[in-house]
Amino acid sequence: MTYYQDSRRFLLPLPCLSKLVKMEMRAKYDIPIGQDLIPPIPPLCLSLHHSTLLSHCSSCFSPLPPPPPPSNNNHHFIHYCSLQCSSLDAPLHFSSSEFHFFHLFPQPPYTSFPTSTDLRLSLRLLHIIQESKGSFLNLERIGGLVTNFKKVMFLDDDQELCGRILDGAKAMAIARRMRDGLSTNGEILAEECTVEAAVICLVLTNAVEVHDKDGRSLGVGVYDVMFSYINHSCSPNASYRFCTALDSIGELECRICPAVTETGVGGIESESIINGSEECGGPRIIVRSIKGIQKNKEVLITYTDLLQPKVMRLSELWSKYRFSCCCKRCRGMPTTYIDHCLQEILISNLDCSNMASGDNFVGDHVMEKLMDCLNDAIDDFLSFNNPKSCCEKLEILLTQDHDEVVLKRNGENIRLLFRLYPLHHVSLHAYMTLSSAYKVSVSELLALDSESDEHQTEPFSMSRKSAAYSLLLAGATQHLLESESSLIVPASNFWTTAGETLLSLVRSSTWNLFSRGRHVGEISLSSCRICSKCTLLDRFRDKFTDSHDENAEFAELTSQFLGCVTDITPKIWGFLVEEGGYLKVVEDPINFRWLGSRMSSFTHFATNATSHNADETHSGFEAEEYHNEIRVTLFLLGIHCLIYGAFLSTVCFSRHSPLMSKVESILCVEGILNG
Ligand SMILES: C[S@@+](CC[C@H](N)C(=O)[O-])C[C@H]1O[C@@H](n2cnc3c(N)ncnc32)[C@H](O)[C@@H]1O
């Protein structure tokens, strides 16, 4: 064995540096959009986050009833929902030395990458591999799974990460010694915990966050090669979801198969591959096509947030997975439309057309400044429980000119005046945060005083803003989806949220204030005709079944939906944005043609904003009629958004998706579906 001496004086055995095998998954046949590609796969092993240890079963991840108050007798770190789960998982908890790890480190000491959860998962995995007689001769691939060990520990210049992995490996080794009744006093040398370090690298390379049906992260898991061989793309053709062991009944053929992309010494012996046990009660993973995939084409998922601009995606993929993405979206020359929008800023005091092509001096400084402002506002909301201040800061971030002194390549200092582009990724984050921060402010205000008229107008104005921002976010994502169809996953969430927010505005009691003394009876919204122009509701009632051509159905329903919302939105947008602020700049949240003309002459951006005083000429009975009409139109729009969001969720996550059930129950409450 060759030894390698690195700058921190750790002595590690240098693994074989030969060319490595690279694996991927390919489609066995032509596969249309919206198809499950593999049967649900059980996990190899799982670990709950520290924050969910008390609330969820450590074996099957199902929610537990609230725990009894702590006593001297119930000082357990992990809990189970049943005897069956306990008998399945407790032996691994003890024999992997996870139990001893908890006793050594009752409070999670490792908070950054690798976290204490990663280390517990690594202990479990190491034990499972040893029990299945797996080999540790090739530390680049253990149990069939790639570790990136050499890249992380030897070739990379991120010494901090390498140091953290070694610290974690030592902590694992101490827990394992304690389990074996050995002394834990002496210092553990790096060469004594090489295998532990390699398993941590395996976990960092292959583990996925496991979510519950509401999208909350419960813990992390490693799945076998059928999932772990799937590579990343920023323009993926597949998504994944989790289901319980009970949900996964029924036979499904595997439509994808492993393929070797680069062969070399140290290939994969089929007997060294480990598989998850069907007995395991933990969440299964299923992969699904979100685009049509041709036979023999590679199946790809995303490892990162696709609404980030290229530079942020590349940096995250490098720091977490140690590769430079060369997918078609990252390679695009010139930059793809979506990446151009996500990073575009509008400079008002420079003639950009006169800038030399090497003058890309704006990027990093400006991005950092914008991200700082965004994070500061989000902190006010989430850490300091001050949604109002968050909204104020974000409205300023979106509306005002920012200035920044930057250094040009030629050493010259230049003062830039710039503003966010409405489709910039910081703008999209701001819309998302504003929608929920206004919603929370409404509940807080109503909780204070819901009686007087005076106290109803402010929450009503905030409800309008919340609805407007959620519609703008969904519309902006749909606009980007037209050039990058893998955005279907966020689009599904955003349309559903927009639908819910619009319906909650429709149900606001403040509408009665517009009745001028006369009581506006609850207008029977459910009895108004839903829509004669599209088949969305009928298709929803059929649960989007019986399609003979999934690709064509997707295109058809999208076009029907866009046709309807493009017609409906201008009738209510003026009303939603009446309160002013940044929203007044947005001419239309669905059809972004206005961006072209408005953005090319930036100086007109703020001053030319459309005036939406839609009801200034209305009074008395007219005003009442006007508001009833607005309310019905908002309702109609909300229903369209909900149904389309549910449709997209069936494409990404099947007809049994949680969003589909949520929309079903909302439509039942609204009287549109029979319960
Ligand atoms: C979960 S594994 C995927 C399967 C892996 N290719 C293998 O050979 O087993 C993740 C690792 O695969 C590699 N990988 C995944 N997507 C990639 C991409 N788009 N470009 C380059 N390497 C990629 C990286 O090394 C990454 O850390």
Extents of the domains making up the chain: 3-20+45-65+77-206, 462-674
Q: Which of 224, 231, 262, when mutated, tests ligand 1's pocket best, judged by the most ligand atoms within 8 Å of its CB?
A: 231
- Mean of per-residue pLDDT scores for the chain: 86
Q: Are 442 and 462 in contact (CB under 8 A)?
A: yes
For residue 490, the surrounding DSSP H or E stretch is helix 488-506
Report pLDDT for 3. 39
- How far apart are the C-alpha atoms of 495 and 478, rounded to whole Å? 9
Say how many C-beta atoms besides its own lie within 10 A of residue 354's C-beta: 7
The DSSP bridge pattern shows strands 284-289 and 238-243 to be: antiparallel
CA of 115 from ligand 1 middle (Å) equals 21
Task: Give the model confidence (pLDDT) of 314-369 as tens digits.
Answer: 999 998 898 999 999 999 888 999 999 999 888 877 655 444 444 555 667 788 88
Between 137 and 200, the more confident residue is 200
How far, in Å, from the CA of 152 to the mean position of ligand 1? 14
Q: Which atom of ligand 1 is nearest to 322's Cα? A: 27
Least-confidence region, from 223-232, 374-383, 426-435, 620-629: 620-629
pLDDT at 284: 95
Question: Strand, helix or coil at 644?
Answer: helix
Q: What is the pLDDT of residue 402?
A: 87
**Least confident residue range of 484-488, 533-537, 560-564:** 533-537
CA distances from 104 to 94, 97, 121, 175, 573 (A): 14, 10, 16, 7, 59
pLDDT at 180: 95
Cα 168 to ligand 1 centre (Å)? 23
Does residue 397 contact residue 374 with C-beta atoms inside 8 Å? yes
SS3 of 238, please? strand
Residue 537 CA to ligand 1 center (angstroms) comes to: 41
Is 433:378 a contact under the CB 8 Å cutoff? yes
Lowest mean pLDDT among 154-158, 339-343, 412-416, 473-477: 154-158
What ipTM describes this predicted complex? 0.99
**By alpha-carbon position, which residue is closest to atom 19 of ligand 1?**
232
Q: How many CA atoms lie within 13 A of 391 on its CB side?
A: 19
Kindly give the distance from the C-alpha atom of residue 231 to the centroid of ligand 1, in angstroms, as a whole number.
Answer: 5
Which residue's CA is minimally distant from atom 26 of ligand 1?
A: 321
Residue with CA closest to ligand 1 atom 20: 325
Q: Which of 132-136, 230-234, 584-588 has the lowest mean pLDDT?
A: 132-136
Instruction: State what percent of residues in the chain have pLDDT above 90.
Output: 60
Cα 325 to averaged position of ligand 1 atoms, centre (Å): 10
- Nearest ligand 1 atom, CA 232: 16
Residues with CB under 6 A from ligand 1: 22-24, 146, 148, 205-206, 228-229, 231-233, 321-323, 325, 327
Q: Is the pLDDT of residue 290 over 90?
A: yes
Compute CA distances 356 → 353, 361, 410, 586, whole Å.
Answer: 8, 11, 11, 31
Please choose from 232, 287, 316 the residue to mutate so as to test ligand 1's pocket, defined by most ligand atoms within 8 A of CB. Answer: 232
Q: Which of 19, 274, 323, 325 to mutate to test the pocket of ligand 1 (most atoms within 8 A of CB)?
A: 323
- Residue 273: which pLDDT band, with cuts at 50, 70 and 90? confident
Taking the centre of ligand 1 as the mean of its atom positions, its distance from the CA of residue 146, in whole angstroms, is 8
Model pLDDT for residues 159-215, shown as the tens digit of each residue: 888 999 999 999 999 999 999 999 888 888 988 999 999 999 999 999 999 999 888
1, pLDDT greater than 50: no
Could you read off the pLDDT of 242-270 as tens digits, one per residue?
998 877 656 688 999 999 987 665 566 66
Ligand 1 atom nearest the C-alpha of 320 is 27
Ligand 1 centre distance from Cα of residue 121 (Å): 20
Q: Which of the pair, 556 or 579, is modelled with greater confidence?
A: 556
Angstrom distance (rounded) from CA 317 to CA 321: 5
Q: What does the pLDDT read at residue 451?
A: 62
Distance (Å) from CA 226 to ligand 1 centroid:
13
pLDDT score, position 250: 62
On the CB side of 452, CA atoms within 13 Å amount to: 6
Distance CA 374, CA 443 (A): 23
* Span from the CA of 207 to the centroid of ligand 1 (angstroms): 12
**The pLDDT value given to residue 108:** 80
Look at 83-97, 355-369, 462-476, 492-506 and tell me which has the smallest mean pLDDT.
355-369
Nearest CA to ligand 1 atom 14: 231
Ligand 1 probe mutation, 24, 113, 142, 146, most atoms within 8 A of CB: 146
Measured in Å, residue 657 CA sits from the centre of ligand 1 at: 28
User: What is the 644 CA–ligand 1 centroid distance (Å)?
Assistant: 34
Question: Ligand 1: which atom is nearest the Cα of residue 205?
Answer: 27
Residue 613's pLDDT band, with cuts at 50, 70 and 90, is very low
| Closest residue CA from atom 10 of ligand 1 | 205
Q: Would you state the pLDDT for residue 228?
A: 97
pLDDT value for 627: 82
Ligand 1 atom closest to Cα of 21?
Answer: 8
State the distance from the centre of ligand 1 to the C-alpha of 144, rounded, in angstroms: 13
- Nearest atom (ligand 1) to Cα of 225: 9
> What band does 528 get if pLDDT is binned at 50, 70 and 90?
low
354 C-alpha to ligand 1 centroid (Å): 41
Considering the entire predicted model, what is its pTM?
A: 0.89
Q: Which atom of ligand 1 is nearest to the CA of 327?
A: 19
Q: 432-446 pLDDT, tens per residue?
A: 999 999 999 998 888
What is the structure's pLDDT at 614? 46
Which residue's CA is the closest to the ligand 1 atom numbered 7? 23
Decide if pLDDT at 602 tops 70: no
The residue nearest atom 22 of ligand 1, judged by CA position, is 323
Q: Out of 58-67, 129-138, 170-179, 270-279, pick the least confident.
A: 270-279
Q: 664 pLDDT exceeds 70?
A: yes
The residue nearest atom 15 of ligand 1, judged by CA position, is 231
Ligand 1, residue 144: give the atom nearest the CA.
9
591 CA → ligand 1 middle, Å: 38
By CB atoms closer than 10 A (0-12, 13-18, 19+), residue 111 is: exposed
Distance 344 CA to ligand 1 centre (A): 30
Atom of ligand 1 nearest to the CA of 141: 9
C-alpha 49 – ligand 1 centre gap (Å): 25
Distances (CA, A) of 607 to 417, 577, 598: 16, 16, 11
Burial 366-393 (b: 16+ CB within 10 A, else e): bbeebeebbeebbebbeeeebbbbbbeb
For residue 334, say if its preceding peptide bond is cis, omega within 30 degrees of 0.
yes
What is the whole-number distance in angstroms between the Cα of residue 575 and the centre of ligand 1? 49
> From atom 27 of ligand 1, which residue's Cα is the shortest distance away?
321
Q: What is the pLDDT of residue 615?
A: 45
- Here the tokens at position 549 are 């051509």
Best residue for ligand 1 mutational test, from 321, 322, 329 (most atoms within 8 Å of Cβ): 321
Query: Residue 321 CA: which ligand 1 atom is closest?
Result: 27
* pLDDT computed for residue 73 by the predictor: 53
pLDDT of residue 368: 86
The whole-number average pLDDT for the span 547-576 is 93
Written as one letter, the residue type at 390 is C
Q: Whose CA is nearest to atom 6 of ligand 1?
A: 23
- Nearest partner of 276 among 450, 614, 496, 44, judged by Cα: 44
Query: Which pLDDT belongs to residue 266?
Result: 55
Looking at residue 10, what is its pLDDT? Answer: 43
- Provide the pLDDT confidence category of residue 536 given band limits of 50, 70 and 90: very high
